[in-house]
Amino acid sequence: MEDAEEKCDDCEGVGTVECKDCDGKGVIEKDCEECEGEGHSESGTPCLECDGEGSIEGQCEKCTGDGKVECQTCHGTGEPFPSTDKTMTTKL
Ligand SMILES: [Zn+2]
Ligand SMILES: [Zn+2]
Ligand SMILES: [Zn+2]
């Protein structure tokens, strides 16, 4: 039983959280720019860029493909809050 350690609730002390933009996958589905999401060109030929899917997978810009982003609650430290007055009390 050693769970007395204080850690950030949001990231469980890891310092990173799952990227919400891509659900932690690191890739995100975007509309194909080549066919504007149609999956085929104006003449009806299947788009080669997206294989006729209309969407392509690209790297998530938010997490740059990591699937994880820095925890905003602890700013990546994993601590519940910036260490203030645990051992030292600094007064101005
Ligand atoms: Zn396309
Ligand atoms: Zn992401
Ligand atoms: Zn955190």
| Distance from Cα 22 to the centre of ligand 3, integer Å | 19
Residue 75 has pLDDT above 60, yes or no: yes
| Distance from Cα 18 to the centre of ligand 2, integer Å | 8
Cβ neighbours of 74 (radius 10 Å): 22
Question: Helix (H, G, I), strand (E, B), or coil: what is residue 77?
Answer: coil
| Distance from Cα 23 to the centre of ligand 3, integer Å | 17
Report pTM: 0.64
- Ligand at minimal distance from the CA of 36 is 1
Predicted confidence band at 5 (pLDDT cuts at 50, 70, 90)?
confident
Q: Judge whether 29 and 45 are in contact, CB under 8 Å.
A: no
- Ligand at minimal distance from the CA of 38 is 1
| Distance from Cα 59 to the centre of ligand 2, integer Å | 8
Q: Judge whether 21 and 91 are in contact, CB under 8 Å.
A: no
Report percent pLDDT > 90 for the chain: 78
